[in-house]
Amino acid sequence: MKIEKTLHSRIDEIDFNNISFGNHCSDHMFCSEFRNGEWKNSIIKPFENINISPKSLVFHYGQAVFEGMKAYKDKNEEVFLFRPEENFKRINRSAKRLEMPSIPESIFMNGLKKLIDIDRDWVPKHYGQSLYIRPFLIAMDRVLSAKPSKDYLFMIISTPVDAYYEYPLKIKIEEKYSRSASGGVGFAKAAGNYASSFYPTRLAREEGFDQILWTDSSTHTWIEELGTMNVFFWLKNKLITPRANENILSGITCKSLLALAKKEGIDIEERDLSVSEIIDGLKKGALKEAFGCGTAVVVNYFQTISYQGVNFSLPDIPDDQRTSILLKKKLLDIQHNFSEDPFGWRLKLKRFL
């Protein structure tokens, strides 16, 4: 892999006490090209605009998949990745569904590790802060016919992010729009899934809600996920999350919280969860807590759930009694090397250069 280091770092432009999500990318980026059936030209180089033909297939037919992951610092400013092999596997599951080539593990992992090593000063120091990493794969053929591309570009860029300050969410259970459909691409981290959620999300925001709780597209009676998060419900003394299926993006945060909850002795269930069970739980006071989780937000709990125009409030319990907050702390402690890592999730980044 070729490495070209910048002579003009932009790091002094960043106020690490006041970071906004995604505004400033780190000094370098990783690129690798898939051409004539082969991966080639892997390079780490200074972050810059890329030159793409307006004919490129990605613009017209949306052959684009991506990942979201983070790097964290510990007290000694060592840098750690969290379960990167899960993101590697997921981008290739997404790529397969969109008829794109799979990325070899060596390209994904070496590109990732070396890029974050070179930009390790960009990983913020404080607990909860992190460097958000965005690997993505796009179709590059310069042709307007609707067919899968032959050429692709895989890139990794990153941006420092602040600790996400929790605010209780007002949720709407969606009954008209859908995020995904049976046989579709819901399980993939396909760029188009996000584009299609923007309009219904804006409508929900105009009604005063923060996020949409997506339900199955054919009956709108089964809970799927929340905006860009997976969901958990603390119902009848069990922590329940909808079982991952072809409509749901199987989240790495969700998987990790399930393992942590199990270790805490919490009774967990991954199963189909109906809207009526949630509404019944709200009416009878059996639903104590509900929250969303994902790499960007970590964990965010719900204040209200609205269904068919009726707003239900969740119990107003103190933060130190919330399962969501307990699990979030356990997760962040592992991510920041503040606690043991019994699951082997942390990957300490070597210094390559």
> Which positions lie near ligand COI, rule CB under 6 A?
68, 194, 228, 294-296
Q: Provide, rounded to whole angstroms, the least separation between the CB of residue 294 and ligand PLP.
A: 3
Alpha-helical segments (H) within the chain: 57-61, 84-97, 105-118, 191-206, 252-263, 275-284, 323-335
* One residue of 252, 258, 261, 290 binding ligand PLP per CB under 6 A: 252
Task: Name the closest residue to ligand COI (Cβ).
Answer: 68
174 or 225: whose CB is closer to ligand COI? Answer: 225
Q: Which of 153, 171, 229, 278 binds ligand PLP (CB under 6 A)?
A: 229
Residue 225 binds which of ligand COI, ligand PLP, none (CB < 5-8 A, kind-dependent): ligand PLP
- Of 136, 294, 335, 349, the one binding ligand PLP (CB under 6 A) is 294
Q: Contacting ligand PLP (CB under 6 A), which of 65, 116, 254, 325?
A: 254
Q: Closer CB to ligand COI, residue 178 or residue 230?
A: 230
Strand partners, 239: 234, 268
Choices 7-15, 55-63, 252-260, 311-319; region in contact with ligand PLP by CB under 6 A? 252-260
DSSP H helical segments within 14-103, as ranges?
Answer: 57-61, 84-97
Site for ligand PLP (CB under 6 A): which residue of 92, 149, 230, 300?
230
Do the Cβ atoms of 302 and 291 come closer than 8 Å?
yes
Report the C-alpha gap between 30 and 158 in whole angstroms.
Answer: 10
Taking residue 184's Cβ as centre, other Cβ atoms within 10 Å add up to 16
Smaller CB separation from ligand COI, 133 or 275 = 133
Binding ligand PLP (rule: CB under 6 A), the pick from 217, 251, 307, 327 is 251
The enclosing H or E element of 139 equals: strand 130-139
Q: Is 242 in the site for ligand PLP (CB under 6 A)?
A: no
Closest to 113 in 3D by CA, of 150, 93, 151, 85: 85
Residue 131 interacts with, from ligand COI, ligand PLP, none (CB under 5-8 Å by kind)? none
Which amino acid, 349?
L
Look-up of token digits 């002795």: 265
Query: Whose Cβ is closer to ligand COI: residue 194's or residue 312's?
Result: 194
Applying the rule CB under 6 A, the residues between 197 and 226 that interact with ligand PLP are 225
Binding partner selected for residue 249 from ligand COI, ligand PLP, none, CB under the kind-specific 5 to 8 Å limit: ligand PLP
Partner touching 39 among ligand PLP, ligand COI, none, CB below 5 to 8 Å by kind: none
C-beta of 128: minimal distance to ligand PLP in Å?
16
18 or 198: CB nearest ligand COI:
198
How buried is residue 12: exposed, middle or buried, by Cβ count under 10 Å (0-12/13-18/19+)?
Answer: exposed
Residue 161 C-beta: closest distance to ligand COI, Å: 10
Residue 174 · residue 200 · CB < 8 Å: yes
Which residues have C-beta within 8 Å of that of residue 180, sequence separation ≥ 6? Answer: 186, 187, 193, 214, 217, 224, 246, 247, 248
Distances (CA, A) of 289 to 58, 172, 212, 233, 236: 41, 16, 17, 6, 10
Q: How far is the CB of 130 from ligand COI (least distance, A)?
A: 11
DSSP single-letter state for residue 56: B
Binding positions for ligand PLP, rule: CB under 6 A: 68, 225, 228-230, 249, 251-254, 294-295
